[in-house]
């Protein structure tokens, strides 16, 4: 089975799975629960410092809560490593600082000894009206919360040994405030934990709609050239939010409109006046080429 088939089986057998977080109705609101596994060989390039690892491990889980329009209530982080002593202080500090930057708190975790460094985070959040992946409707507009390329740039800098700047870029701030402010207007939402291309497919499949993206409208970070567009688009691992909403429905914010929702299921990229079909590649764990990082 491919990972995609495994995910389809999970969706069939675990009804609450299949979105960024599980949604658990509780006392007139909804609790959000999510878990994310990162490990050194797949998720942290050589030169990533322990502070950045702890930060990013917490950030990816908080990003899942942001992608539901939720507010975090707490996050836990488990550390498994050959020698706990070495990463401990940096990881703990990074995890705490990221949680604080996102308006929440590191509340606990677990310690374990193993042959490779693993960081596993679990986030708890709340959303009265969680934004699912499945609510997009034809005629709506497609948006991003911000420019792409942060992880791409960071990996380039790691490979060139510019570690301070690379680590800084790798420590993204989860879009909690943005996601929450969109929860009344967005009809569907997902984060870009793999890539924009893959997240477009996620929304398309979950909502049963099509998405047409205009390449020229996708904002890229300064320092990226259009020659690098493919890398960012297919292997980006950025943690901006991708969402849909009716035209004119959004609150004020830094939203970039990048395309539209259509009736036919699928994903298309419009560039140089041409419409090309976007394949859903670059996202299967262990099968990646290119940047090859997973989260």
Nearest to residue 42, comparing CAs of 103, 130, 137, 120? 120
The answer to the question of residue 12 lying near its own copies (CB under 8 A) is no
Q: Which of residues 257-276 bind its own copies (CB under 8 A)?
A: none
* CA–CA dist 274, 123 (Å, integer): 42
Q: How many residues bind its own copies (CB under 8 A)?
A: 58
Of 43 and 140, CB closest to its own copies: 43
Handedness of CA 9, 10, 11, 14 (dihedral sign): positive
The answer to the question of residue 76 lying near its own copies (CB under 8 A) is yes
Q: Helix/strand/coil (H, E, C) string of 181-194?
A: HCCCCCCEEEECCC
* Region from 9-17, 50-58, 133-141, 244-252 binding its own copies, contact rule CB under 8 A: 9-17
Site string for its own copies, 35-64 (x = CB under 8 A): xxx-x-xx----------------------
Helix locations, 208-264, DSSP H: 229-235
* CA–CA dist 161, 47 (Å, integer): 8
The answer to the question of residue 289 lying near its own copies (CB under 8 A) is no
CA distances (Å), origin 247, targets 25, 69, 243, 281: 30, 19, 12, 30
Helix locations, the chain, DSSP H: 3-13, 40-43, 50-66, 85-101, 150-159, 163-170, 176-181, 196-207, 229-235
CA distances (Å), origin 213, targets 80, 216, 267: 40, 9, 8
Shortest Å, Cβ 16 to its own copies? 4
- Choice from 96, 205, 270, 271 touching its own copies (CB under 8 A): 96
The answer to the question of residue 109 lying near its own copies (CB under 8 A) is yes
DSSP for 61-86, written as a single string? HHHHHHTTT-EEEEEEEEEEES-THH
Shortest Å, Cβ 39 to its own copies? 5
* Region from 19-27, 216-224, 255-263, 265-273 binding its own copies, contact rule CB under 8 A: 19-27
Of 31 and 197, CB closest to its own copies: 31
Find out whether 190 and 199 touch, Cβ atoms under 8 Å. Answer: yes
Of 57 and 185, CB closest to its own copies: 57
Of 16 and 165, CB closest to its own copies: 16
- Choice from 47, 74, 147, 184 touching its own copies (CB under 8 A): 74
Q: Given the structure tokens 């629960």, which residue do they identify?
A: 33
Shortest Å, Cβ 279 to its own copies? 21
Shortest Å, Cβ 218 to its own copies? 28
The answer to the question of residue 91 lying near its own copies (CB under 8 A) is no
Shortest Å, Cβ 9 to its own copies? 8
* Region from 50-58, 114-122, 133-141, 162-170 binding its own copies, contact rule CB under 8 A: 114-122
The residues facing 170 across adjacent strands are none
* CA–CA dist 108, 111 (Å, integer): 10
Q: Which residues in this chain contact its own copies in the complex, by CB under 8 A? A: 1, 3, 6-7, 9-10, 13-14, 16-18, 21-22, 24, 26-29, 31, 33-37, 39, 41-42, 73-74, 76-78, 80, 84-85, 88, 92, 96, 105-116, 118, 120, 122, 124, 126, 285-286, 294
């Amino acid at each position: 089975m491919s990972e995609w088939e495994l995910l389809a089986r999970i969706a069939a057998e675990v009804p609450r799975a299949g979105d960024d977080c599980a949604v658990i109705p509780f006392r007139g609101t909804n609790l959000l629960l999510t878990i994310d596994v990162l490990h050194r060989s797949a998720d942290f390039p050589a030169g990533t410092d322990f502070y950045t690892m702890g930060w990013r491990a917490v950030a990816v889980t908080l990003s899942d809560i942001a992608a539901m329009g939720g507010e975090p209530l707490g996050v836990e982080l488990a550390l498994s490593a050959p020698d706990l002593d070495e990463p401990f202080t940096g990881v703990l500090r990074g995890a705490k600082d990221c949680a604080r930057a996102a308006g929440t708190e590191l509340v606990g975790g677990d310690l374990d000894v193993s042959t490779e460094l693993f960081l596993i985070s679990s986030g708890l959040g709340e959303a009265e009206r969680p934004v699912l992946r499945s609510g997009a409707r034809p005629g709506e507009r497609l948006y991003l919360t911000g420019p792409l390329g942060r992880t791409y740039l960071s990996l380039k800098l790691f490979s060139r040994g510019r570690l301070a700047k690379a680590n800084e870029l790798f420590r993204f701030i989860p879009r909690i405030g943005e996601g929450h402010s969109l929860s009344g207007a967005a009809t569907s939402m997902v984060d870009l934990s793999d890539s924009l291309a893959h997240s477009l497919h996620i929304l398309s499949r979950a909502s049963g709609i099509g998405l047409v993206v205009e390449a020229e409208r996708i904002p890229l970070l300064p320092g990226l050239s259009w020659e690098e567009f493919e890398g960012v688009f297919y292997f980006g691992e950025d943690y901006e939010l991708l969402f849909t909403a009716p035209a004119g429905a959004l609150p004020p914010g830094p939203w970039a409109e990048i395309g539209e929702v259509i009736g036919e299921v699928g994903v298309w990229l419009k560039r140089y006046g041409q419409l090309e079909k976007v394949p859903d590649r670059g996202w299967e764990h262990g099968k990646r080429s290119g940047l090859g990082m997973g989260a």
